[in-house]
Amino acid sequence: MPEVVALGEPLVQFNAVTTGPLRHVTYFEKHATGSEANVCVALVRLGVSCGLITRLGLDEFGLFIYNWLRGEGVDVSRIKFDPERPTGIYFVQRGYPLPGVSDVVYYRRGSAASALSPGDVDAEYIGGARVFHTSGITLAISESARDAAFRAMEVARSRNVLVSFDVNYRRKLWAREGDAVGVLTKALGFVDILFLDSDEARLLLGVSEPGDVFREVSARFGIGKVVLKLGVKGSIVYWDGKVARADAFRVPVVDPIGAGDAYAGVLLASVLRGLPIEQAVVRASAAAAMVVMTRGDEENLPREEDLERFLSGYGRQVDFR
Ligand code: KDG
């Protein structure tokens, strides 16, 4: 049984090879992505086993993702193929109008993963893990996927499996902001380890200062492990009464998509391996920086030796600070 089980939609990403508006882009590069799949790959690259519960279309893109995840060592035994529905895809516009910032265009409505339902939630499988991970994206893609995510969180809680949740608010996936606030707030009631950024904190809690965010989530939802991502200002983590911070590593940004998943996956891998939280946040921050240096969300996810080389060599030959 894997140490971590995740639930969510993998997607094929078509990333613009050149920057600028998509209407002028001719070449796209194909990548296996999707938030929870990214977290799984981040974990297995650091030696922590992870299984993904999902559905893929029985099509070329579904096979591509399946083979990629299997090749990376993710447990694919709970992935189902749907011959009726397609695998979700999306396009990435890079560096326009803002340098270093990307935009996404989704083609995922009615995808195979949007048909995820509570029937896909294998309680024994989740019950055998140490951590269950999902995100606000899974809560947004369809009602049945949302039900599956809530069911999986309930199962995890009832079996003493820690629930890790990344708010991952994606405005384009919700009809109304108010719907998102209602559903995401309900989810916080199931969470043990919470990842969110300042905008998401403002949206869900009405506060964004680190001390206020921690106070709110701990008083209202009893969450004791909170990771607040502050973009270029780094991150601050409240972990069972301890506070740890990490600066953001300054690197040339090719595409920032996937940074949050790299952070979450590497932080989880590090704490599951028994590293102190102060070390885990620095490693997570380094992994996020590594991922934004290239197109695609998973290619630059570090193995242990890559992480060590980054941390020991950062700023020595080229100073981006
Ligand atoms: O976190 C990165 C993901 O956002 C990206 O791979 C696409 O999963 C995705 C989504 O739903 O936005």
Tens digits of residue pLDDT in 234-247: 999 999 999 999 99
- Interval 44-56 mean pLDDT: 99
Q: pLDDT at position 317, please? A: 76
Give the model's confidence band at 318: pLDDT under 50 very low, under 70 low, under 90 confident, else very high: confident
pLDDT tens digit string along 138-158?
A: 999 999 999 999 999 999 999
pLDDT tens digit string along 178-229?
A: 999 999 999 999 999 999 999 999 999 999 999 999 999 999 999 999 999 9
What are the distances in angstroms from CA 236 to CA 36, 85, 160, 188, 267? 22, 41, 26, 19, 12
Question: What one-character DSSP code corresponds to residue 97?
Answer: S
Ligand 1 binding pocket, CB closer than 6 Å: 11, 13, 33-35, 38, 137, 170, 257-258, 260-261, 297
Torsion of CA 259, 263, 264, 265, to 10 degrees: 100
Kindly tell me if the per-residue pLDDT of 321 is higher than 60.
no
User: Residues of the chain with pLDDT > 70: what percent?
Assistant: 99
Say how many Å lie between the CA of residue 258 and the centre of ligand 1: 7
pLDDT tens digit string along 250-259?
A: 999 999 999 9
Q: pLDDT at position 17, please? A: 98
Pairing of strands 79-82, 4-7: unpaired
Residue spans of the domains in the chain: they are 4-309
- Interval 263-276 mean pLDDT: 98
CATH for 4-309, among 3.40.50.1000, 1.20.970.10, 3.40.1190.20, 3.10.450.50? 3.40.1190.20
Task: Catalogue the active-site residues.
Answer: 261
Give the model's confidence band at 93: pLDDT under 50 very low, under 70 low, under 90 confident, else very high: very high
**Cis status, amide bond into 83, omega within 30 of 0:** no
Give the model's confidence band at 175: pLDDT under 50 very low, under 70 low, under 90 confident, else very high: very high
Closest ligand 1 atom, residue 108 Cα: 11
Q: pLDDT at position 56, please? A: 99
Kindly tell me if the per-residue pLDDT of 41 is higher than 70.
yes
Extract long-range pairs of 140-143: CB within 8 Å, 24+ residues apart.
140/170, 140/173, 140/174, 140/180, 140/183, 141/9, 141/108, 141/111, 141/113, 141/114, 141/116, 141/173, 142/114, 142/115, 142/116
Q: pLDDT at position 190, please? A: 98
* 235 vs 197: CA distance, rounded Å: 9
Closest ligand 1 atom, residue 259 Cα: 1
Closest ligand 1 atom, residue 261 Cα: 1
For a pocket test of ligand 1, which of 13, 107, 165, 168 has the largest count of ligand atoms closer than 8 A to its C-beta? 168
* 3 vs 161: CA distance, rounded Å: 10
* 25 vs 30: CA distance, rounded Å: 14
24-38, 195-209, 226-240, 305-319: which has the minimum mean pLDDT?
Answer: 305-319
Torsion of CA 281, 283, 285, 288, to 10 degrees: -140
Give the model's confidence band at 316: pLDDT under 50 very low, under 70 low, under 90 confident, else very high: confident
* Helices and strands, number each (H, E), in the chain: 11, 13
Q: pLDDT at position 320, please? A: 65
Neighbours of 303 (CB within 10 A): 12
